[in-house]
Structure 1
Amino acid sequence: MNGAQLIVDAFGRVQEVVHRAAEGLTAQQLAHRLDPDANSIGWLLWHLTRVQDDHVAHALDVEQAWTAQGWHERFDLPFKPNAIGYGHKSEDVAAVRIESAQLLTGYYDAVYAQTIEQVRGLADRDFDRIVDESWDPPVSLGVRLVSVVSDTLQHAGQAAFIRGVLERRP
């Protein structure tokens, strides 16, 4: 197994958790917050998808699915198109109202497809390419992809946890 195959497998695992966390939920369930300042399932899944879309597109020099495929228009959120949720306050989380789980999983699947298409063509030597010099040390493509997998999988797990809490409530 090479590096590209490992990364493809990892993003496949994120996709599975995203689908399990979202499928069949209502708009109300997607927006539910366990306390007034907690993240909702809808916000978590939107945010993790935006991070993957933004970071992978930048690292691999392609346009984000969010804008290229019109997802920002379908979601119709009160943020600038380049918003990914980083630094969002409680009010911003509350503003993420998603009409359906299918919208979230559809966007994730579009980002996943673009990610996999780009990653499958990478050779092991490509993972050493520097993609972000604003950090010390500079960030390589391999480190960026592992970072995105880690971040997205953590948020997907948080969404799955919230779903479990909601399903156990009377």
Structure 2
Amino acid sequence: MSDYPCRMTEIWPVEPPVAGTEQEHLVGMLDRLRATFRWKAGGLDAEQLARRTTTSALTLGGLLKHLTYVEDIKLSWAFEQEPGEPWRSVDWDADPDWEFRTAALDSPAELYSRYDRAVSTARRRLTELLDEGGLDMPTARQWQGQTVLLRRIVCDLVEEYGRHTGHADLIREAIDGLVGEDPPEGWQPS
């Protein structure tokens, strides 16, 4: 059993460990960012999820769909598994921003449900991989002549969430004034 701090009984943990292993800290930070992002994007209607607040095309709905994509493919891609639908059918060369562009076509319930399922599946998969080989587990990917380790994939996920949680902070504040660093204690998505 890995020392991954988030088991399925703790669906949306917020606080990473204060004194833990490298693995506990990395995965704890990833889960904190996931929870903060989900809180910032949560409880909105279709119009709010599609609202743009600047000249940027970013919307909270687009970010939800994009991070669903990231959760669905990141660990699969690293271990040469085929992505599921709808990602497999997208012509990414012709439409590299497909998930951002098409998010407004999905209902809020679909966006939230897909995202929550993708996070749950990614957590379960990451737990299995950490149990199997830890952060030093080699993936099927090469970059700059080196084998990419699972540690790099986890760090990439933290970086991806860091960037987009910052975007979500700004967009959500412009929509309804919601501010704050972390979800309130005991928060769970509705």
Q: 1:23 aligns with which of 19, 42, 45?
A: 42
Distance 1:40 1:21 in 2: 12
- Checking the alignment, whether the CA contact within 8 Å between 1:4 and 1:120 is kept in structure 2 is no
Gaps of 5+ in 2: 1-19, 178-190
Gaps of 5+ in 1: none
Q: Name the structure 2 match of 1:111.
A: 118
Distance 2:38 2:66 in 1: 15
- Checking the alignment, whether the CA contact within 8 Å between 1:45 and 1:156 is kept in structure 2 is no
Q: Name the structure 1 match of 2:138.
A: 130
1:40 aligns with 2:44: no
Q: Name the structure 2 match of 1:160.
A: 169
Q: How many pairs align? A: 153
Distance 1:125 1:45 in 2: 30
TM-superposition CA deviations, 1:69-118 (whole Å, max 9, x none): xxx4xxxx9x93585xx9428xx734321311x33232222122222222
Q: SS at the partner of 1:128?
A: coil
Distance 2:132 2:51 in 1: 42
CA RMSD of aligned residues (A): 3.1
Alignment of 1:40-119 (within 5 A): 40-60=59-79, 64=83, 66-67=84-85, 72=86, 80-81=89-90, 87-88=96-97, 93-97=100-104, 98-100=106-108, 102-119=109-126
TM-score by length of 1: 0.71
Gap change, CA 1:124 and 1:9, over 3 Å in 2: farther
Seq. identity, %: 22
Task: Identify the structure with the greater helix proportion.
Answer: 1
TM-score by length of 2: 0.65
Gap change, CA 1:10 and 1:108, over 3 Å in 2: farther
Q: Name the structure 1 match of 2:14.
A: none
Q: Name the structure 1 match of 2:32.
A: 13
Gap change, CA 1:45 and 1:143, over 3 Å in 2: same
Specify the code of the residue in structure 2 equivalent to 1:106.
S
